[in-house]
Structure 1
Amino acid sequence: MSDDPFLANRGLLFTIAYEMLGSAADAEDVVQDTWLRWDAIGADARADVRHPRPFLVRMVTRKALDRLRANARRREEYVGEWLPEPLLTAPDVADDVALAESVSIAMLTVLETLTPTERAVFVLHEVFETPYGEIAETLGKTPAAVRQIGHRAREHVAARRPRMEVGRVEQRQVVDRFLAAVWEGDLQGLLDVLAPDVVLVADGGGVAQAVLNPVAGAKKVANLLKPFRRLTPGAEIVPTVFNGTLGARVVGIADGFDTAISFVVEAGRISRIYVVRNPAKLGMIDVVATLSR
């Protein structure tokens, strides 16, 4: 491990920024800004920092909050549904169940419904176990106020988060059945593997073709996906681990845009499907992300 505290904690800093922003590109920018600020304080000042990890966490959190607030207007003007940017992840991310759930597309989508401050408190306390006192110092609030914000955020997330309590073997079996049914155009196979109240959300960003509104219900989703092979000759579906869980990547579609798909599996069926086609969000799906906590 590097002797430089920034380099030693870079994976952590990126993970915090990514969970707060839902964008790998924005997270990289925030981490780079944090590095420039860290470097600018000078070697002597850096050596005087007794606890560099929480110091760096404060820096990256504040910068991520600034970016999150600045992005609010852009999100409001976004064409269609906005989904987080998928990340190609190594198997060791899936080994850390808490980390894998916290960076899943499903969880990041729920975090989008929090205010920026609520999101910061939830991510820092619930995922990274940062004490409320440290979070209060970061946000310029009292520990009591931060505790109240954390309680509110936790209840909000608990009411909306999907229950992803399935093992890897079961998840792979369900996803494999789904992909086979899509490939074969098997309507009954799709109905068998989709939860009755399944929801499909797609993000094309107004650039790549995608449904603009969520599609709900097994029959509607199955009918949407059944003609996939006929409508996309030459396309290939490749099982891929995105954000710590098994998903799929679709390449070779005639419009030239790749597709990243993430799933939520509950009780042996797929309950959520997240489809990202916006090319601006697929720039890092060939690079394994370094995530840690």
Structure 2
Amino acid sequence: MCRWLAYWGEPLKPSELILDTQHSLVAQSLNSPLGAETVNGDGFGFGWYPEDTSHGNVPALFHSIEPAWHDENLRELTSSIASPLFFGHVRAAAGPPIQQSNCHPFRHENWLFMHNGFLDGFLKMKRDLAFAIDPSLYPLIHGTTDTEVLFYLALTMGLQDDPAAGLARAIRMVEQVGQSKGIQFPMQGTVAVSDGSTLWAFRYSTSHKSRTLYHSVDIPELRELYPDAARLEVFGEKAKVVVSEPLTDLPGAFVEVPESTLAIVDASGYHHEPFLDEAA
């Protein structure tokens, strides 16, 4: 469906990951070996939190309907700023039209949200899900994607107070509505959420066969493994990235996030928790 990455750490030029690394996000937009679609050329989005938070921590957005590999503005922008936390997303549309309002990530106040996957049978569920969104939030939906509806449903159900619980409630509602309409596996995908301080990355699907998700190994550990790797010098000690698929072929540089798992990234490092895992 799509490919995405989320960075957390010392301020970094986003181009280092979106454009310049071995299997960058733009490279994956042209060729995504682990994706359901190998080409993701139906627009892209980039969201970033400011390095200077003296005027608040509301993220900025750049969306385009051009293929990421064709957009010169993306290179100019990502090479000219630095950010301690940013999202990048390349889209393979599966129904909703190619328009800027349908490009991820989506923003509400200081929150960013993006998704790789789909809500199966979304058109059958759309009315029920949309009517469950808080009336004060509903007018803020500008696009036609299942992801944006899922985001505002999760906001309605408490995402800002507890992202894991809020998204879990929203997904359970999607599953209940979908299954009531004969849809066997309503939810599929990986989701990234941030408030500008913490990054939450979810891997979950009703079928328990979710899209791929990985995160990088800590930079000090990588430097021990590869002391001569000059490429690692651009990253600070705290740098971490969560991705749909690895950005490099270096053995041991990325680890897979297990099925039905929430990966949390904050100042204390990585943490994994079960997410909607019946066995847990």
Instruction: Check whether TM > 0.5.
Output: no
Q: Which has the higher contact order (CA 8 A, sep 6+)?
A: 1
Structure having the higher strand fraction is 2
Structure having the higher helix fraction is 1
What TM-score comes out, normalization by structure 1 length? 0.30
